């Protein structure tokens, strides 16, 4: 375990139906790097994941979205899944929470379908990004430059396509959080 992110707090924003491994693997990697992670959700007590083809485990909610403040965190992680970002992009508080991270210049990681929430937040125009292939047209229509790569970093925003890319995504998200911390 390294302590390169010691003292850093990372919000993981999810609704029911998040792709389980897209939460658990980055969370583990961030914690192994010394960060403290906090599951933030519109749900009050726990939120249920999706494990590839069926409902997965429930995970405790650390901070209810209604009480969450982006200024309390150093970075944001957005797991994918299909249902999760679809619910979040329809939640005004979730969209505002995401916007605040971009307004404050904080690192954000988004994987798979999570860029749907970023599109709703109006923060993708002019950025180079990747995502699950079915989100490509949505990102292009919102002004992003979509590329088919396992991980893309654009000015603090780290994106990946799917769970297959987690081995590339997690270290890049950690690097971006560390870089921003060093600059500030």
CA–centroid distance for 123 within its chain = 13
Is residue 112 among the annotated active site residues?
yes
The answer for residues whose C-beta is within 8 angstroms of residue 146's C-beta and 6 or more apart is 129, 130, 131, 136, 139, 140
Catalytic residue among 16, 87, 113, 170: 113
Angle (CA) 92-163-101 rounded to 5° is 35
> What 3-state DSSP class applies to 135?
helix
* Active-site entry in 16, 87, 112, 170: 112
Residue 113 annotated in active site: yes
Beta-sheet pairing, 75-78 with 9-13: parallel
Nearest CA to 38 among 124, 2, 89, 30?
A: 30
Q: Which residues are catalytically annotated?
A: 112-113
């Amino acid at each position: 375990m390294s302590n390169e992110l010691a003292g850093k707090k990372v919000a993981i924003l999810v609704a029911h139906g998040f792709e389980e491994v897209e939460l658990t693997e980055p969370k583990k990697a961030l914690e192994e790097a010394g960060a403290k992670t906090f599951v933030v959700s519109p749900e009050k007590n726990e939120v249920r994941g999706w494990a590839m083809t069926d409902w997965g485990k429930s995970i405790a909610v650390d901070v209810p979205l209604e009480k969450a403040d982006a200024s309390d965190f150093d970075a944001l992680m957005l797991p994918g899944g299909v249902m999760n970002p679809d619910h979040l992009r329809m939640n005004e508080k979730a969209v505002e929470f995401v916007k605040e991270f971009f307004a404050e210049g904080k690192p954000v990681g988004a994987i798979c379908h999570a860029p749907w929430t970023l599109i709703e937040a109006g923060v993708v125009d002019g950025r180079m990004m990747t995502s699950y292939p079915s989100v490509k047209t949505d990102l292009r229509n919102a002004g992003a430059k979509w590329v088919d790569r396992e991980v893309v970093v654009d000015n603090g925003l780290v994106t990946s396509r799917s769970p297959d890319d987690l081995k590339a995504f997690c270290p890049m998200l950690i690097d971006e959080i560390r870089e921003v911390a060093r600059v500030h």
